[in-house]
Amino acid sequence: MPYFSFFFATLLLFNYIHSAQCQPLYFAGGSDFKSYYTGTKKLYYYGLLNYFYIDLNNLSLDGNIVIDSSKWIQVTKNENTSLANWPFLGGISNDNLFFAKSASYGTSAEVYVDTFDTTLNQWKTNLSLTGKPSQSFLDFKPWITDESTRKAYSLQYIPGIVEIFDTVNYAWTNSSVIPQTYQTYLNLFLSSLYGPPQVLLSSGIILYFSSEPSSSTTTSNTTSMDSILSYNIKTDSWQLIYATGQIPSLRSDYTAVSTFDGRVIIYGGTSNKLPANPPIVVLNASNYVWSVPSEINSAGPLTKHTSIMVNNYMITAFGN
């Protein structure tokens, strides 16, 4: 399958600063960095201690390139901005990053949202919001944005709903509750503290991928990624999808991205304390068949990294 090399190129970001820093234990797990590709062709990396971007307007991605920290353009954090672990993209031009934070866990009484406008380089703190998220909103759970409606989605374990934030009107809503019959699977999709890895397909379906339990106290009956929880943002409905083909083993700390031609690439992670093998597996999102591509210039295993699609390239950075 030589076509695959077209879709997969690794952009190595050598990180001189980050490795010298010690992240607080609290935030261990998952990738310390999240990546965002804005409507203005800037690639943002957000970590709790480091926030910068790379301007891709003048950068050719054809071929493996190394971008050292001299090409990182640092963003100044606002002292009053919340340290949200998982920002999300949004705004009219999809060039704003949003930071939703709850003042104390397990209550929605004080959830506030800050935003950074990447075009104006401007922070706005404590936006005025309509509505609020559900009772047990956990602000470190992943978000995914629909760049056509500018709404962002975050799956929450309790009560088993998706919180929806309209990034133009600053309004909270929520999905229907996951049907009782799928509740037993919820553990599997949310057993990784910082998960689940997720993609939004152009059809409006969010796929949530299962993860290996991150602690020994959680057990799962499944050892493969054959079942995929899906939420349709257009019909507000849930479905459990059974995938076939070369089903990958259950893993943790991997990344999932969707390509423009309807495939999902999962990459890296850890399985049973070893590098997940094979490191790259592709899901055809039309028929839900997994396959293992043959790679050219394999990037090898990686875990706790961040990946994002930029045009036809999956750009992976950080991790170990």
Binding site for ligand NAG (CB under 6 A): 55, 57-58, 78-80, 112, 126, 134, 159, 161, 173-174, 184, 221, 284, 286-287
Euclidean distance between CA atoms 73 and 61, whole angstroms: 18
Tokens of 181: 């019959």
Task: Tell me how far, at minimum, the Cβ of 267 lies from ligand NAG, in Å.
Answer: 17
Name the minimum Å distance from CB 101 to ligand NAG: 8
Give whichever of 74 and 286 is closer to ligand NAG, judged by the CB atom.
286
**Rounded Cα–Cα distance for residues 204 and 88 (Å):** 17
The minimum distance between CB 20 and ligand NAG, in angstroms, equals 26
Closest CB to ligand NAG among 57 and 180? Answer: 57
Shortest reach from residue 127's CB to ligand NAG, in Å: 9
Conformational region of residue 190, where left means phi above 0, alpha means psi within -120 to 50, and beta covers everything else:
alpha
> Tokens for 113?
């949202």
Amino acid letter, 26: Y
Whole-number minimum distance, CB 121 to ligand NAG, in Å? 13
Q: Where are the alpha helices (DSSP H) in the chain?
A: 4-7, 183-190
By the 8 A CB rule, do 114 and 129 touch?
Answer: no
Q: Which is nearer to ligand NAG, 169 or 287 (CB)?
A: 287
Q: CB-based contacts of 152: which residues, under 8 Å, 6+ apart? A: 88, 89, 90, 98, 143, 144, 145, 146, 164, 165, 167
Of 62 and 79, nearer to ligand NAG (C-beta) is: 79
CB of 174 to ligand NAG, least distance (A): 4
Q: Please identify, using beta-carbon distances, which residue of 70 and 221 lies nearer to ligand NAG.
A: 221
By beta-carbon proximity to ligand NAG, the closer residue of 87 and 301 is 87
